[in-house]
Structure 1
Amino acid sequence: MSTDSQQNTHHSPVLEFKSSTFSVPVLVLANNDLIAIEQQLQEKIHQAPEFFKNSPLVFDLQELNNLNLDTNINKLVNIIRKLDLLPIGIRGGSAQQNQQALKLGIPSHSGHINHNPATSPEKQKPQTPEPEIAPEPQFVTVNSTLITHPVRSGQRIYASGDLIILAQVSAGAEILAEGNIHVYGSLRGRALAGVQGDTEARIFCSDLQAELISIAGNYKISEDLNGAAPNQPVQIYLQDHTLIIKDI
């Protein structure tokens, strides 16, 4: 290679950083019983093994720390990894817990935690509620993503607003949206709406044959959808932490 070619290669950018959004499951712990945690994790994974296999995971310790329940970070991470989950972050941890996680190659994510028992919700003094003032009407614009071609196995599509698909979603494909999902063909893959916690999000489809459906982290797998008649348009919404499937 000539000297000029080498110089051009050195000056050409070979990488760049881009901001992006990914949907990652968050494991919220309410008890520090490691045996019970491992058992219930196994049960969850057994319900949808392909969905959880080698899945990235953020574990949240805020509730445990609010209850002053100590947690062995090393043992917890070992359990998570043993079950073929990949911990990529800790949230709601103390400074010491964050440091322990960092030694294991797990960075901390933003999340406020209250370490002072005196200021916990159950010990706060009741406050006199201030009179509510009706807010001025606001107009919210929701961006929609339109897909006109079939979503094939292995493809993954993420929408920051509503996601509208005018074709089928094949088995092995995954579609995610922060808002609603509309599928005007057969839905055979995985559909996750309200992935940022929007419990009002819904899924609409013309033919429900999905491997998994989820709204705001509440999900059902294919075995739970036997009651849903195929080839009929349905809507799926969340009610009392339960997914409701209703004919349109």
Structure 2
Amino acid sequence: MSRSPIELKGSIFTFAVVHLYTLQPEVIYEALIKKITQSPTFLKNAPVIINLANIPEGANWNKIYHAINKSGLHIIGVSDCKDIYLKSAIINTGLPLLSQGKNIKQKASFIAQEPYQKIKTRVINTPIRSGQQIYAKDCDLIITSSVSAGAEVIADGNIHIYGMMRGRVFAGAKGDISSQIFCLYLIAELVSIAGYYWLSNQIPEKFYGQSARIIFSNNTLKIQPLL
């Protein structure tokens, strides 16, 4: 029996969501370039979703589309578009229209909102190299070694990292806002809890290279000394 030439599988990918608040393509372009310059590891040539919830009717999508492409970002979809004519223009550029829950804010695209129960803890004793992705499904994740820049660690529960914490770190990946991140050396490119995230330039400078505990409280991320 011959094998099918294709196979569809569920997977986990991380996408930044760009919320637009202006119709001016040149302003959008300059703002994107500034953000990319601040966090090139995370944003340079990155796939992104464009959120149009705050854009009024009458936007020229073609100009906005070209401004975003010119910045080097790659649009993979558009969310929260309410203008029927704008929707038509988006579809004509070959992009899908996406929908999001009303309370989603700065969320990575793989985040689900269903409650879950933690089953166990996954422990990894080896370094997580650049390009590697580790996912602890329905449990906490403990890494006793370091996480390199360009690596990605994801857990549905808490994350504990006892070596250098570089790379991108996602706790509460299924939407559990009670999840936390604990680390001894904070040098991350991105930290996220339940989809709410900080890029490296948003992490308070005084915690750079320090031990830290990152939590979600009062609708925002907060950081505390661990020791």
Matched residue, 2:128: 151
| Cα distance in 1 for residues equivalent to 2:24 and 2:167 | 35
Using the TM superposition, name which of 192-201 and 149-158 deviates more: 192-201
1:246 and 2:225 correspond:
yes
1:57 and 2:34 correspond:
no
Q: What CA RMSD, in Å, does the superposition of the two structures yield over aligned residues?
A: 3.1
Amino acid at match of 1:237: I
The higher relative CO (CA closer than 8 Å, separation ≥ 6) is in 2
Kept in 2: contact 1:98–1:107 (CA 8 A): no
Q: TM-score, normalised by structure 1?
A: 0.70
Kept in 2: contact 1:164–1:182 (CA 8 A): yes
In structure 1, the gaps of 5 or more residues are: 1-7, 114-138
Q: Deviations over 1:84-114 (max 9, x none)?
A: 111000111144323322221211112489x
Distance 1:140 1:53, change over 3 A: closer
Matched residue, 2:214: 236
Matched residue, 1:206: 184
Amino acid at match of 2:20: L
| Cα distance in 2 for residues equivalent to 1:97 and 1:178 | 36
1:14 and 2:2 correspond:
no
1:47 offset after TM fit, Å? Answer: 0.9
Q: Deviations over 1:54-98 (max 9, x none)?
A: 21111111222xxx3432111111111111111000111144323
Kept in 1: contact 2:58–2:86 (CA 8 A): no
How much identity, in percent, do the aligned residues show?
35
Larger helix fraction of residues? 1
| Cα distance in 2 for residues equivalent to 1:44 and 1:243 | 21
| Cα distance in 1 for residues equivalent to 2:205 and 2:221 | 16
User: What secondary structure, in the 3-state scheme, does the structure 2 residue paired with 1:80 have?
Assistant: helix
In structure 2, the gaps of 5 or more residues are: 103-114
Distance 1:142 1:153, change over 3 A: same
| Cα distance in 1 for residues equivalent to 2:45 and 2:222 | 25
Larger radius of gyration: 1
Pick from 203, 206, 209: which aligns with 1:227?
A: 206
